Each structure stands twice: as C-alpha cells, then as structure tokens.
C-alpha cells in the first residue's frame, strides 16, 4: 500500500490543482467548463489506480501526470500574462463569450488536450520511464477509452434541450464535424512520429509547432459563436 500511495501522490497533486481551479473560476467560464470535465477524468483515473485496475500503475501514473501538467502549464501561462500554446488560445480567448455554449467549451478543451498535449505527454512519459511509445500503448488506450465514454456523457449533459431548439441544429452540425476517436488515432500517430524525430531537434520542433497550430485551428472552429 505504501508503494501504491507513493505512485499515486503526483496524481493527487494534479487533482488538487484542478479542484482549486474549479473553486476559483466562475461556473460559466469556458475554462471552468473544461476543467470540470478533465477533473472528472483525472479523479476516475486516480480511483482506478487505487483499485489496481492498471496493469502497469507506474506507466499509467507517468502518462497521466505528464498529460495533466501540459494543461496546467497553459493555465499558468495565461495567469502570468504569457501566451499559451496555440491549441489552447481559442479556449482562453473565447472563455467568456456569451454566444459559445458549454458543450463547445468542453469539446474545445478536449480537442486541445487530446490533439496536442497527449502526443507530447507520451513522449515526456517515455523519457521519464526510459521506454518507447509501444510500451505505453495499453495505458494510452485505457485513458482514451475513458475519455470516449465521458465524451458521450458530456454531449448528453450539455447538449441544448427543447428550450434551446433554435440553436440545436447548428450546434449539432458544428460539433458533429469533430471526432474524439479520430483525434485519438491521430495523436497516437503523432506521438510515434515525435519519438522517431527526437534526435532531429529542428524537424521535431517544426512538427510540434504545426501540430499545435492545426489543433488550435480546429479549436477555433469548435468555438464558433452561435446566435440565441
């Protein structure tokens, strides 16, 4: 038990950071909307680590923590008046826009975190553990499966009801153009490519910048304001 507690302590630390953000941000703030979603994911991963559901808890912890740190670094950058990665800029820029719906905020955050941060987190975790991406594929898939199940619940909880029928059609059309499953597949391919490119710093940097910009563009589309 002592060993397991030692492994999950870093996860507990990022959960504490997200809970503090949840308490500090206005509920309707777009970052707060995503933070609640991601907090639920991280708490569930923490619970599964505690119950021994991950075959390799050390690898799962490393991936989960490196993943969360990317999001928290973006939050810290904005708090310090620095520019966050391009993938996160739309969410921070539109976080208080009255024409953007909660479901859009949630999925724009997931897009940034899965489409960009997760690929880099896989590489970070490989460096931490001294392994290769293939060694983390099971943990990657388990985290991805959890996100897919939560995305379905998020869409049900945040999709406008009959009282907002006038925006349901454009919202459904807009959000139907983005797929977590496709983003997850692209992320795994990007992580493997970045690992291969780790000895070619210039090419790896350019690849990362282009990935960041492309994910940011998709996020901007997801946050298209919709008329009441």
Q: Are 21 and 35 in contact (CB under 8 A)?
A: yes
Residue 220: what are its φ and ψ, rounded to 5°? Answer: -60, -40
Q: How far apart are CA 49 and CA 8, in angstroms?
A: 7
Max alpha carbon distance in the chain (Å)?
55
One digit per residue, the tens of pLDDT, for the chain of length 228 reads 334 444 567 899 999 999 999 999 999 999 999 999 999 989 999 999 889 888 899 999 999 999 999 999 999 999 999 999 999 999 999 999 999 999 899 999 999 999 999 999 999 999 999 999 999 999 999 888 888 777 777 766 666 555 444 445 566 656 666 788 888 999 999 999 999 999 999 999 999 999 999 999 999 999 999 866
First to last CA, the chain: 53
Burial-class residue 119 by CB neighbours within 10 Å (0-12, 13-18, 19+): buried
Cα(122)–Cα(37) distance, integer angstroms: 21
Rounded to the nearest 5 degrees, what angle is found at the Cα of 72, between the Cα atoms of 195 and 148?
A: 70
Nearest to 208 by CA among 87, 77, 92: 87
Q: What is the pTM of this model?
A: 0.88
């Amino acid at each position: 038990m002592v060993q397991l507690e030692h492994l999950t302590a870093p996860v507990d630390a990022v959960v504490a950071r997200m809970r503090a953000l949840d308490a500090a941000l206005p509920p309707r703030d777009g970052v707060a909307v995503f933070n609640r979603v991601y907090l639920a994911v991280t708490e569930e991963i923490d619970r599964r680590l505690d119950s021994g559901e991950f075959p390799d808890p050390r690898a799962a912890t490393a991936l989960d923590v490196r993943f969360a740190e990317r999001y928290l670094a973006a939050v810290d950058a904005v708090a310090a008046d620095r520019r966050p990665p391009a993938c996160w800029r739309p969410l921070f820029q539109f976080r208080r826009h009255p024409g953007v719906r909660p479901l859009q905020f949630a999925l724009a955050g997931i897009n940034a975190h899965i489409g960009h941060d997760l690929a880099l987190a896989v590489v970070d975790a490989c460096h931490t553990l001294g392994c290769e991406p293939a060694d983390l594929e099971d943990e990657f898939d388990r985290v991805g499966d959890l996100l897919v199940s939560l995305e379905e619940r998020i869409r049900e909880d945040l999709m406008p009801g009959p009282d907002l029928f006038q925006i349901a059609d454009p919202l459904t059309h807009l959000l139907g153009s983005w797929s977590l499953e496709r983003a997850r597949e692209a992320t795994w391919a990007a992580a493997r490519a970045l690992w291969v490119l780790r000895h070619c710093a210039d090419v790896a940097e350019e690849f990362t910048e282009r990935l960041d910009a492309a994910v940011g563009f998709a996020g901007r589309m997801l946050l298209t304001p919709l008329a009441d």
